[in-house]
Every structure is written in C-alpha cells, then in structure tokens.
C-alpha cells in the first residue's frame, strides 16, 4: 500500500536523466584518472618528459667565437641576468674538467683492451635523474663513479659495436665493468679506478661527482679561473613564449626538442585537469539535480507524508522507498561506468603494449567507482531520512 502510493510521486524522466548524467560523469572521471596512472610511469621511463621543466643552454658557436674561444663562456653578469628573468625558476652551473682524462683497460683485466680520451662535467646532485648508492666520492676513495647519457650506450650497441664486430652490452653488464682513469694536468698525473653507475635521460654529458671534479680541478687544473660554458635552466612554465625570444636575442643555444617535450608535458597535464574538471562538474550537477528532484517530490507531497506519519508510519519506513530508489538508480549508473571504464582501459593498454615496453600496474577503476558509489548512497540515505523526519516529526 505504502509503496504503491509512493511510486505515484516519482517522475521517471528525472530518474533516467540522473542515471545518464551520473554515468557519463563517473565514466570520464574513472577513465581519466586511470589513464593518468597508467601513462605517467610509461612516459617517465621512456623520456622523463612529464616531470621535466629544464633544458641545457650554451652560447651559439660562430666564426668569431671559433677564433676567440673565451666568447663561448658565460660571465657572472650573464648568469645573474638569466636568474632575474621572470620565466626562469633556477639556474645551475655545469663545472668542466680543466685537465686531460684517459680511460683504458689492461691486458690482465677481463675486458677488451681499449684506450680513449674523455671529458668530465659535474652538476649538483639535485638535478641528476639517476639514483645510485654509489654516486659518492671522497679523497680516499679509489673508484670514481660515472654517469653517462643512455643514448651513448644505444649508439655503442647499435652503431659502433655492430660495425666493429664487438659484443653488445646491457646496462647491468656495463655497470659491472671497472676500468682505469688516468688524470693528467699541471705537471702531475694520477690513476683511478672507475665504473659506470647510471644512465641519464636528461643530461647529455659524462658526469662525475662534484666533489671529485672540484678536487681534480684544484690538483690537475691548468687554470685557476672557473669557466662556465653550459647552464641547466629550470623554467616556471616551459610554454612561455618569452623563453625562445630571450635566448634568440642573446644568441643562446637551447635544446628545443627538450623544450617541446616540456610543453607536451604541460599540455598533457592541462588537458587531463580540464577533462577531470568537466567530468566532476557533470557529476556534481547530476547529484544536485537528483537531490533537487527528490526535494521537490517531498515538498510536493508534504501533506501525504505528514498524514502517513499521523496514521502510524515511522519516518524511517516512509524514507525507505525513496532511499532504495535513489540507491538503485546510483548503482545502475556507476556499475556500467565501471565496466565500460575497465573495457576502455583494456583497449588502450593493448594499443600501448604494441608500441612500448609497458609494465602494467593494477587498476584503480573498481576501487574509485565503488568508493563514489558508497559515498553517494550514504549521503542520499542521510539527506532523505533527515528531510522526511523534519516533516513527520516537526520540532
């Protein structure tokens, strides 16, 4: 009797509209959040694009600078000018090795004989994208750790090794090889052991710890004057049009590809935020719509609800029908959104897996979806119960 009476108060079109809008909003939120979780580590592994707002800059080399090499170095005034620019967050200096370096192996060592000249640079550890417990050096240490660009290893494996008939090397293999370093300069020389401890995707240079380079420059350096030819610049916003304009005006060379990657990062994150914001607006509007609809139903049938209370029905029994209806409608919206979200994720993961080496992580769609479902149901039950109670048991 009570249920039949309450059924007549419902507007089916409003329920259908609520289910559709909630389904769309929840589906977009769940899929977008899961896409971000899936793609973020992939991009980080492949290019370090999504968390990088920095680029290496140097001076353009011209005919005049070829004659006068001092022109390729940054002065303290030029560095200060860079730091004062509103679009630049931080400027870090590359320290150069001011001495000769030879890397070589001996006949007795279990690696092929080789000898080559090297160059070293250093930069503060905060800007290095490699984490290694071995990245430390003190004056009493015999082994000098080295970080090389990952593309150097690729050039060796797919270029040099192929043409010379040499074996290809994995990161793990090359990290276990210890070779010799001969440091020469200032009428002095010294031999160290050395080992590659990491591979950088961010900095295209052969890096050693700053403590080693400072020590070696003091002991073997040909000049006591520090000369800076490259800087690592961190931007507030890599999409700022003033960046390239300023660098072109000052004849500074910048890795434009790295800057474009940073722009891609900015636009990707902005697009995700925008999509999630739109989805949340749809979700909030659908919730507000159904609450407003039920409020109008309750107010329109206020006399009937009051009479039901007067003839012995409790506010809980009167509320139960509306609570069940809105909870079922919420389930009918969110469960299909979860299922469709899982299906869409499987589709795009299959596409990604054909293009990249991809380590799939767990899905958060079900957890997020069930959390939204339970939260909304609890809120609806509480609000409806409170409104019915206010009519049946007025203060």
Instruction: Give the pLDDT confidence score for residue 265 in this predicted structure.
Output: 65
Reported confidence tier of residue 110, pLDDT bands at 50, 70, 90: low
Reported confidence tier of residue 262, pLDDT bands at 50, 70, 90: low
| 242 contact partners, CB below 8 Å, separation of at least 6 | 85, 86, 87
pLDDT one-digit tens code per residue, 305-328: 777 777 777 878 878 888 888 899
How far apart CA 370 and CA 365 sit, in angstroms, is 8
Strand pairing of 188-200 and 178-185? antiparallel
Q: Which of 306, 325, 332, 333 is nearest to 380 (CA)?
A: 325
Strand pairing of 54-59 and 88-93? unpaired
How far apart CA 330 and CA 377 sit, in angstroms, is 7
Q: Tokens 């060379």 label which residue?
A: 253
Q: What are phi and psi of 92, to 5 degrees?
A: -120, 150
DSSP codes joined into one string, 198-222: EEESS--S-B--HHHHHHHHHHH-S
Instruction: Give the pLDDT confidence score for residue 50 in this predicted structure.
Output: 42
Instruction: Give the pLDDT confidence score for residue 65 in this predicted structure.
Output: 46
Query: Encoding tokens for residue 367?
Result: 């957890």
What is the reported pTM?
A: 0.55
Residue 160 is classified by DSSP as I
Query: Encoding tokens for residue 10?
Result: 């419902």
Burial class (CB in 10 A: 0-12, 13-18, 19+), 47: middle
Q: Which of 80, 18, 26, 85 is nearest to 328 (CA)?
A: 18
Instruction: Give the pLDDT confidence score for residue 47 in this predicted structure.
Output: 46
Query: Encoding tokens for residue 169?
Result: 């090397």
Please, what is the average pLDDT of the chain? Answer: 82
pLDDT of 387 higher than 80: yes
What SS3 class is residue 66?
Answer: helix
Task: State how far Cα 331 lies from the chain centre.
Answer: 33
Percent of the chain with pLDDT over 90: 19
**Of 135-149, 204-218, 227-241, minimum mean pLDDT range:** 227-241
Strand pairing of 188-200 and 143-149? parallel
Cβ atoms of residues 118 and 133 within 8 Å? no
What SS3 class is residue 284?
Answer: helix
pLDDT of 251 higher than 70: yes
How far apart CA 204 and CA 257 sit, in angstroms, is 13
Instruction: Give the pLDDT confidence score for residue 80 in this predicted structure.
Output: 92
Q: Of 39 and 142, which is predicted with more confidence?
A: 142
Q: Radius of gyration over alpha carbons of the chain, in Å? A: 33
Cβ atoms of residues 236 and 264 within 8 Å? no
How far apart CA 75 and CA 182 sit, in angstroms, is 31
Q: Which of 50, 49, 35 is nearest to 352 (CA)?
A: 35
Helix axes 365-392, 12-46, angle to 10 degrees: 150
């Amino acid at each position: 009797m009570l249920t039949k009476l309450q059924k007549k108060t419902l507007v089916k079109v409003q329920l259908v509209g609520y289910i559709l809008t909630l389904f769309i909003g929840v589906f977009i939120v769940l899929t977008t959040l899961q896409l971000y979780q899936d793609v973020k580590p992939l991009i980080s592994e492949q290019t370090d694009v999504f968390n990088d707002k920095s680029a290496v800059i140097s001076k353009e080399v011209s005919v005049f600078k070829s004659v006068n090499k001092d022109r390729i170095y940054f002065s303290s005034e030029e560095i200060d000018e860079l730091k004062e620019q509103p679009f630049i967050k931080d400027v870090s200096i590359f320290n150069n090795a001011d001495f000769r370096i030879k890397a070589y192996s001996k006949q007795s060592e279990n690696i092929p004989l080789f000898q080559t000249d090297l160059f070293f640079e250093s930069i503060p550890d905060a800007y290095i994208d490699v984490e290694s417990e071995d990245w430390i050096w003190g004056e009493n240490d015999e082994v000098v750790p080295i970080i090389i660009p990952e593309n150097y290893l690729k050039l060796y494996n797919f270029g040099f090794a192929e043409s010379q008939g040499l074996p290809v090397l994995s990161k793990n293999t090359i990290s276990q090889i210890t070779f010799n370093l001969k440091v020469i300069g200032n009428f002095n020389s010294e031999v160290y052991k050395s080992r590659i401890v990491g591979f950088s995707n961010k900095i295209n240079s052969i890096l050693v710890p700053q403590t080693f380079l400072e020590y070696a420059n003091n002991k073997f350096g040909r000049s006591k004057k520090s000369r800076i030819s490259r800087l690592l610049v961190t931007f507030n916003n890599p999409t700022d049009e003033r960046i390239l304009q300023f660098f072109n005006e000052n004849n500074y060379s910048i890795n434009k590809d790295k800057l474009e990657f940073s722009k891609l990062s900015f636009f990707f994150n902005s697009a995700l935020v925008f999509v999630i914001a739109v989805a949340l607006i749809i979700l909030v509007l659908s919730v507000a719509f159904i609450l407003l609809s039920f409020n109008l139903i309750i107010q329109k049938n206020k006399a009937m609800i009051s009479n039901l209370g007067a003839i012995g029905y409790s506010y809980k029994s009167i509320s139960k029908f509306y609570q069940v209806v809105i909870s079922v409608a919420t389930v009918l919206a969110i469960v299909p959104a979860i299922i469709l979200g899982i299906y869409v994720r499987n589709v795009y993961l299959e596409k990604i897996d054909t293009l990249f080496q991809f380590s799939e992580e767990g899905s958060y769609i079900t957890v997020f979806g069930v959390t939204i479902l339970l939260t909304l149901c609890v809120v609806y039950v509480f609000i409806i119960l409170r409104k019915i109670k206010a009519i049946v048991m007025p203060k």
